[in-house]
Amino acid sequence: MKQFIITENDAGQRLDKFLKKLLPNASASLIYKLNRKDKIKVNGKRQDNEYKLLTWEVVKVFLVDSDFETLTKKEAPKLLETREKFDTKNIVYEDGDILVINKEPWINVHPGDYKTKESNIISQVQDYLWDKLNSLTFKPSLVHRIDRDTSGILIIWKKKDILTQLVADFKEHKKVKKIYYAIVLWKLPNKSWTIDKKLLRIEWAKNEDKVQVSDKGQTAITNYKVLKEYILKTPSWDKVISEVEVEILTWRMHQIRVHLASIWCPIIWDNKYGDKPFNSYISKHFSLNRQALHAWKIEFFHPRKNKIQSLQAQIKKDLTNFVNKL
């Protein structure tokens, strides 16, 4: 017999859902059978599969050790050498409810992106937080995400009730502000401006851009403000390079990249919407090999603290080094 005490991160879910997470190798029919045959007790009583678990309740599973091990056994991670540990120097802020990190470029946020077995943010964070969490089934989760080769701020929630509230806020764009830092080619038409162009996502794009400006698309609004301008002298002609602060009021796929490219000021080293010959020049002479986009600042309502939280992720060295060379 195994005994489990329900924590706040495990409470509120149906008994059968809890058991499926606790016994990942058990089928739904087996879980129902175990409950039907009184192999599952909540506070000493049999409960329906739909029963919502409460904090501090005791769940007992009446299985012999060998059966329990079979139903909970996990495969050892493959390609262990590619799994990097989470670097704590990238922590922006941490409390009992949230972990905010400054993501490095060229790392996936979720496992399975691009069908690779490379390390990923969520696996690293779960390894880092595992001993700090008192939960049987809940794993730390991302509220939002950024592109693989974009750096910057990411919020990971440790508590299920907080995660539920924040997901709703982010989905509805309530009490949330996201500001990015970008380095773009050419001089922008105004020192500050709003780009209001609808964006259409092409699901099965092959020889065309995946996101396009189109009247058939969804509303997309981007505010930008020029921070500084530089003159870069090249063998062919002089080019203006601009540092820009960007706020997105809608959160469409590739919104910043497509909107800036649509006004002829693409993000430097954007390999999809940018100026490819100039990107090659930048790689050769400045050793910059990823899009110059950084999730810089974020504001959101912290439900537990009952106040707006404002955080900022330091701009990564590859971008600051590029600007310093300019």
CA distance 99 to 223: 28
Taking CB atoms within 8 Å and a gap of at least 24, the contacts of 192-197 are: 192/223, 192/224, 192/225, 192/226, 193/223, 193/224, 194/221, 194/222, 194/223, 195/221, 195/222, 195/223, 195/224, 195/259, 195/260, 195/262, 195/263, 196/220, 196/221, 196/222, 197/259, 197/262
* The predicted structure's pLDDT at residue 79: 41
Q: How sure is the predictor about 140, in pLDDT bands with cuts at 50, 70 and 90?
A: confident
Q: Provide CB contacts within 8 A for 127, sequence distance 6+.
A: 85, 86
* The predicted structure's pLDDT at residue 113: 45
Cα–Cα nearest to 242, from 294, 282, 182: 182
| Domains, the chain, with CATH or none | 2-72 (3.10.290.10), 80-325 (3.30.2350.10)
Q: How many CB atoms lie within 10 A of CB 224?
A: 26
Mean confidence (pLDDT) of the chain: 87
Instruction: Please check the confidence at residue 76 and state whether its pLDDT lies above 60.
Output: no
* The predicted structure's pLDDT at residue 80: 39
Q: What mean pLDDT is predicted for residues 42-71?
A: 90
Query: Active-site residue numbers?
Result: 147
What value, to the nearest 5°, has the Cα angle with vertex 75 and ends 71 and 80? Answer: 160
Instruction: Please check the confidence at residue 78 and state whether its pLDDT lies above 70.
Output: no
Q: How many CB atoms lie within 10 A of CB 37?
A: 10
Instruction: Please check the confidence at residue 267 and state whether its pLDDT lies above 90.
Output: yes
Lowest mean pLDDT among 1-10, 69-78, 290-299: 69-78
Q: What mean pLDDT is predicted for residues 168-195?
A: 91
Residue 154 in contact with residue 101, Cβ under 8 Å?
yes
What value, to the nearest 5°, has the Cα angle with vertex 303 and ends 255 and 134? Answer: 105
Instruction: Please check the confidence at residue 325 and state whether its pLDDT lies above 80.
Output: yes
CA distance 269 to 312: 23
**C-alpha distances out from residue 124 to 15, 105, 195, Å:** 29, 15, 36
Instruction: Please check the confidence at residue 291 and state whether its pLDDT lies above 90.
Output: yes
* The predicted structure's pLDDT at residue 254: 94
CA distance 92 to 71: 38
Query: 97 vs 92, which has greater pLDDT?
Result: 92
CA distance 294 to 182: 6
pLDDT tens for each residue of 219-253: 999 999 999 999 998 888 899 999 999 999 998 99
